[in-house]
Structure 1
Amino acid sequence: MASDENFFDEMRGRGDGVRAPYSDYCAWLENRTANALLKKSRDAQTFFRRTGITFNVYGETEADERLIPFDLVPRIIGAGEWAQLTRGIEQRVKAINAFLYDIYHRQEIVRAGRIPEHLISQNDAFLPQMIGFDPPGSIYTHIVGVDLVRTGPNEFFVLEDNARTPSGVSYMLENRETMLKMFPELFSQVQVERVSSYPMALRKSLERSAPAATRDRPTVAVLTPGIHNSAYFEHAFLADEMGVELVEGHDLHIVDGRVAMRTTQGYEPIDVLYRRIDDDFLDPLNFRSDSMLGVAGIMDAYRAGNITIANAPGTGIADDKAIYSYMPDIVEFYTGQKPLLQNVPTWRCAEKDALAYVLEHLEELVVKEVHGSGGYGMLVGPAASKKEIAAFRQKLKAKPANYIAQPTLALSTVPVLTRAGLSPRHVDLRPFVLVSPEGVNVTPGGLTRVAMKKGSLVVNSSQGGGTKDTWVLKGD
């Protein structure tokens, strides 16, 4: 397998041996031919296509539906490594929830001078409608995705937080299902933690977050924007796996102050709504008046305590990349502890000195929009042309507050299967976290996204990235 000593190889480490988490898998792999593996890879793609595991891409003229590339070589994480990550993720998610409660109440972190007031009040994701309101169980972030990258044996960094509507969990589940179909014998040789319980764990977590009056037997539903949404497959998949209804805005109505869904028996009240639409489209009476996706009056029912909305409106401010740069302060302020997971060093371009540094070092840095996602609106300096850098420089000068910048990290690699054999590709990891009044539950695995192009650091599916099954080994 080709390697690059500048990057940490998760299978080989920095030498020619095999790291302990991969030892059993590599012993199995030695008895497989390249042709047999390539055939299995083709079988997996056929399985994905028949199952309908696709995602939509907006703005494409050729087609709006694609198959996400899937690689058969799993990404393997040792039990000890995962225990370390779990502690850090739990700490961070608890701090995010405490931060959200605080900024919609007394804003103690602002009063203490730990975060500038304007980053809250002037943030588009901050919702005045949530000020002073206590969500059921005081939970804002019921489902969280924490994007992690690795640079060494014990070096993990949080790349960004996804506290609004994190996606990708369906691919985590289908990747595992595919691997079980392709290589059932392998799982008897390598002891891997299960992820298949996630849908039922999600349903139970949502039910426990229902308003107190309906917590005994709550009704849960998933709200989708519809079939043209890029993550519609996931919305339908999770609703089906949880055994709950998948609804659109036109299926819902406010009846006697409660949100109710249309059924053959009339309107049935909903107690928990797992919404997969953005805040702006949630309620045309409170946000965008032209929205056809949400439910008129749902915010009034919510503020009256008659429904749980997961995730809570207004959580998107925790996804903001300028807020991200303050996460070490946020974690310490609310937990009284130093962060167990590191942030990537970040320059806030709204600050004069930081902007000057970034403009001078654009060729070396990654620059992102504070509200950006999906790999769009960003510059990867080392991979950009002089023309692209010059154009981005003008955008940065025009609206510096819209951007943050970070160093180009030496992301770890995991092998992918190619016609020429195994070849290293850069990866990140999105573990999925469930939060309810009863605590925090980190699923032992996650979505590993992989840059399928050699040398690329962009792993997003919309930018040509693929996925891998993520194995967390069972402890002794």
Structure 2
Amino acid sequence: MLEKSTELHDKFWEIFSKQDRNKIDEFKLYMDKFAINFNLYKDGNFIEQSLPFDVIPRIISKKEFTEIEKGLQQRVQALNLFLEDLYTDAKIVKEGIIPREFVEQASGYLKEFVGFSPSKKIRAHINGIDLVKDSSNDKWIILEDNLRVPSGSSYPLSIRDTYRKIYPDFFEQMKIEPIKNYPSIIANAMDYVNTGGVNVVLTPGRYNSAYYEHSYLAEKSGALLVRPHELIVIDKKVYFKNYNGKRIRVGSVYRRLDDDFMDPKFFNPESLIGVPGIVESYLAGNVALLNAIGNGVADDKGIYYFVPKMIKYYLGEEPILKNAPTYLPYFKEDMEYIFNNMEKLVIKDVAEAGGYGVLFGHEMSALQIEDLKTIVKANPRRFIAQELIEFYDEKCYLNKDLQDRKADFRAYVVAADDIKVWNCGLTRYALEEGNYLVNSSQGGGFKDTWVMEL
């Protein structure tokens, strides 16, 4: 089902229909010059591929986006309070709001960091929150929280620049909220927690799937783009070694490495990437890391179930944006419901990401469902089940024709002295009709998101 027609959509199609369709090919060529790639390791091989994109933007009214913004600010505030509480007093666990064993079994929970508070007590600085719009009630639903290393923000920035160049007259006729401030929002977050020194974006290198984004955000935010071997830790302080051999103190690191690869002295000693000693510097308060190490506990799909309770516990408020109806086989009554309704639920492995480990009950045979019940019963903490949300399609210009595709929306929320929601986001769409998986790692594409005034 397509999103309901609005004055904004009508205005877009009225103007866009008058544009030269041949410019779409020009648009694609220009985007190719940006070298917007999503790099994958598949079957043991490194594959550098162009990320599919669509010229037709998603359109959200300013009024509607304001409500989304309020809900996201509320959610990220609660998640930050949860992370700080969990790694210090753990009151939410002691008071039984979240079972202790449930937290301690989360793959992203790092007990070694209990008792440590980072700079300004902010842990989730740069967040990607994934939403869909339910076609049954027009409500936005949160599907997932990404509080470790969310990616994708550079793609709409690039496609927006292309609109201005290829369709300058058309673009000027649309009252679109500006988005160029995102790198400055990132820079402000780095400055806010900086412990003394320059800001850097830490990348594992060009073979990372989001390397284009690392370099883009470093350049636009005024930070240095550095690889792990270009940083050195001396006396628990982090320095950048420039090409002249000069050491420059680093005070804030926007890291694009997962926890396990940050420091071979602290995590995996066999790792060939990472910065030896950076965790010790971090724990000494001599460098800020965006995002904090240990945030993965809040990314856990099982912990997602408890976010509405976090909002009530820490803020005394009802959630503005709801979760998808979710069931935990960890709880007996939920397991019974899941087993009785598995054919209409979505089953997710909490250890997987990027669209992997997702099973749709309606696509499974009776035998497969029985096998899955056995697996879930043996390890209930490993899974969650959710009602299948029939979310809206978006129009996509594919194969020189307009086609409908399922699409979600990743919003970017940055916490510093206040919590800012970027006036844009990453709309991801499935390449195949009827497919619910829109992740880039599953072959999904992306499009711009226009927040517009009527």
TM-score normalized with structure 2 length: 0.95
The yes-or-no answer on 1:209 pairing with 2:193 is: yes
Give, in angstroms, the shift of residue 256 of structure 1. Answer: 2.5
1:453 alignment partner in structure 2: 432
Q: Which amino acid aligns with 1:178?
A: T
- Structure 2 Cα separation of the partners of residues 117 and 183 of structure 1: 55
- Structure 2 Cα separation of the partners of residues 40 and 392 of structure 1: 49
The residue matched to 2:428 in structure 1 has which SS?
A: strand
Determine if contact 1:71/1:466 at 8 Å carries over to the other structure: yes
Q: Which amino acid aligns with 1:245?
A: L
Q: Which amino acid aligns with 1:262?
A: K
The residue matched to 2:79 in structure 1 has which SS?
A: helix
The yes-or-no answer on 1:104 pairing with 2:84 is: no
- Structure 2 Cα separation of the partners of residues 299 and 79 of structure 1: 42
- Structure 2 Cα separation of the partners of residues 387 and 68 of structure 1: 37
Q: Which amino acid aligns with 1:288?
A: N
- Which 10-residue stretch deviates more, 353-362 or 332-341? 353-362
- Structure 1 Cα separation of the partners of residues 309 and 377 of structure 2: 28
The residue matched to 1:280 in structure 2 has which SS?
A: helix
Give, in angstroms, the shift of residue 397 of structure 1. Answer: 4.1
RMSD between superposed Cα atoms in Å: 1.9
The yes-or-no answer on 1:349 pairing with 2:336 is: no
Moved over 6 A (4+): none
- Structure 2 Cα separation of the partners of residues 60 and 53 of structure 1: 22
The yes-or-no answer on 1:275 pairing with 2:258 is: no
- Structure 1 Cα separation of the partners of residues 163 and 373 of structure 2: 45
Give, in angstroms, the shift of residue 422 of structure 1. Answer: 2.1
- Structure 2 Cα separation of the partners of residues 344 and 95 of structure 1: 18
Determine if contact 2:298/2:304 at 8 Å carries over to the other structure: yes
- Structure 1 Cα separation of the partners of residues 32 and 157 of structure 2: 16
1:69 alignment partner in structure 2: 52
Cα deviation code 1:360-412 (max 9, x no counterpart): 43321111111321101111223446676566455434433211110111111
Determine if contact 2:201/2:224 at 8 Å carries over to the other structure: yes
The residue matched to 2:142 in structure 1 has which SS?
A: strand
Superposed counterparts of 1:21-420, under 5 Å: 21-32=8-19, 36-37=20-21, 39-60=22-43, 64-152=47-135, 154-211=138-195, 214=196, 218-263=197-242, 264-384=244-364, 389=369, 392-419=372-399
The residue matched to 1:47 in structure 2 has which SS?
A: helix
Distance 1:49 1:128, change over 3 A: same
- Structure 1 Cα separation of the partners of residues 315 and 272 of structure 2: 41
Cα deviation code 1:199-251 (max 9, x no counterpart): 1221122111112xx3xxx4011111222211111112211222322212211
The yes-or-no answer on 1:435 pairing with 2:415 is: yes
Cα deviation code 1:306-363 (max 9, x no counterpart): 1001101011111111100011101111111100000111111223332343234332
Distance 1:179 1:380, change over 3 A: farther
The residue matched to 1:271 in structure 2 has which SS?
A: strand
Determine if contact 1:319/1:371 at 8 Å carries over to the other structure: no
- Structure 2 Cα separation of the partners of residues 375 and 291 of structure 1: 26
- Which 10-residue stretch deviates more, 375-384 or 109-118? 375-384
Unaligned runs of 5+ in 2: none
Cα deviation code 1:391-450 (max 9, x no counterpart): 6455434433211110111111111113473222111101111111x1111110100001
- Structure 1 Cα separation of the partners of residues 166 and 371 of structure 2: 47
The residue matched to 1:445 in structure 2 has which SS?
A: coil
- Structure 2 Cα separation of the partners of residues 232 and 209 of structure 1: 24
TM-score normalized with structure 1 length: 0.90
Cα deviation code 1:5-63 (max 9, x no counterpart): xx3x22xx1xxxx312313212213424xxx43x3333333223222110111124776
- Structure 1 Cα separation of the partners of residues 125 and 398 of structure 2: 39
- Structure 2 Cα separation of the partners of residues 393 and 59 of structure 1: 29
Distance 1:102 1:418, change over 3 A: same
- Structure 2 Cα separation of the partners of residues 384 and 221 of structure 1: 47
- Structure 2 Cα separation of the partners of residues 30 and 45 of structure 1: 18
Determine if contact 2:163/2:171 at 8 Å carries over to the other structure: no
The residue matched to 2:27 in structure 1 has which SS?
A: helix
Cα deviation code 1:110-155 (max 9, x no counterpart): 1221111112223221112221111111110110011011014640
- Structure 2 Cα separation of the partners of residues 386 and 195 of structure 1: 49
- Structure 2 Cα separation of the partners of residues 387 and 197 of structure 1: 52
- Structure 2 Cα separation of the partners of residues 293 and 100 of structure 1: 27
Determine if contact 2:107/2:351 at 8 Å carries over to the other structure: no
Q: Which amino acid aligns with 1:67?
A: S
- Structure 2 Cα separation of the partners of residues 261 and 465 of structure 1: 37
1:4 alignment partner in structure 2: none
Q: Which amino acid aligns with 2:103?
A: I
- Structure 2 Cα separation of the partners of residues 276 and 339 of structure 1: 30
- Structure 1 Cα separation of the partners of residues 77 and 342 of structure 2: 35
Identity %: 37
- Structure 2 Cα separation of the partners of residues 70 and 55 of structure 1: 11
Determine if contact 2:38/2:51 at 8 Å carries over to the other structure: yes
The residue matched to 2:134 in structure 1 has which SS?
A: strand
Determine if contact 1:179/1:469 at 8 Å carries over to the other structure: no
Give, in angstroms, the shift of residue 172 of structure 1. Answer: 1.9
The residue matched to 1:64 in structure 2 has which SS?
A: strand
- Structure 2 Cα separation of the partners of residues 362 and 230 of structure 1: 34
Determine if contact 1:221/1:272 at 8 Å carries over to the other structure: yes
**Paired residues, number:** 452
Give, in angstroms, the shift of residue 66 of structure 1. Answer: 1.4
- Structure 2 Cα separation of the partners of residues 229 and 420 of structure 1: 32
Distance 1:391 1:194, change over 3 A: farther
- Structure 2 Cα separation of the partners of residues 165 and 421 of structure 1: 35
- Structure 1 Cα separation of the partners of residues 365 and 50 of structure 2: 29
Determine if contact 1:48/1:67 at 8 Å carries over to the other structure: no
- Which 10-residue stretch deviates more, 59-68 or 402-411? 59-68
